[in-house]
Amino acid sequence: MAEGKRPAALRVLVYSNDADTRSQIMMALGRRPHPDLPPIEYTEVATGPVVIERMDAAKVDLAILDGESAPTGGLGLAKQLKDEIADCPPIVVLTGRPDDAWLANWSRAEAAVSHPIDPIRLTDAVLGVLGSSFAA
């Protein structure tokens, strides 16, 4: 992103093999979780190979990956993406429970939120990861 130029939209990839989980994530964040952020443009992804394809195409500003997805879990995907993409965008992972935070750390994700999805915790995690990167 060019210095001082605000993007028209924040491109957020949402990965889960469960359509209900993807819907919960998008509803929790909404279209604009903070006035300093541009509107969110969501890309829903249900399979691991498509996550890798989209991330390789560099059309993602933030990825939210469900660690409970099967057969490809979001934690393993996060680790793979961080290992393989030089300028990997920030990643937020969803863990099965708070005690799984160590797995999120292993995955090299910037933040972790546990299931069930809490809109306030998820929004706080996303805002914390993005920092001032996308602020006006």
- For residue 117, being part of any structural domain is answered with no
Segment 47-84, tens digit of pLDDT: 999 999 999 887 899 999 999 999 999 999 999 999 99
Which tokens go with 136? 């006006």
Count Cβ atoms below 10 Å from residue 38 Cβ, excluding itself: 17
- For residue 110, being part of any structural domain is answered with no
- For residue 123, being part of any structural domain is answered with no
- For residue 26, being part of any structural domain is answered with yes
Task: Say how many domains are in the chain.
Answer: 1
Query: What residue ranges of the chain have pLDDT lower than 50?
Result: 1-3, 136
What is the CATH number for 91? 3.40.50.2300
H or E, element range at 124: helix 119-130
User: What range defines the domain where residue 19 resides?
Assistant: 10-96
How does DSSP assign 71-121, residue by residue? SS-HHHHHHHHHHH-TTPPPEEEEESSGGGHHHHHHHT-SEEEESSP-HHH
Q: What is the pTM (predicted TM-score) of this model?
A: 0.91
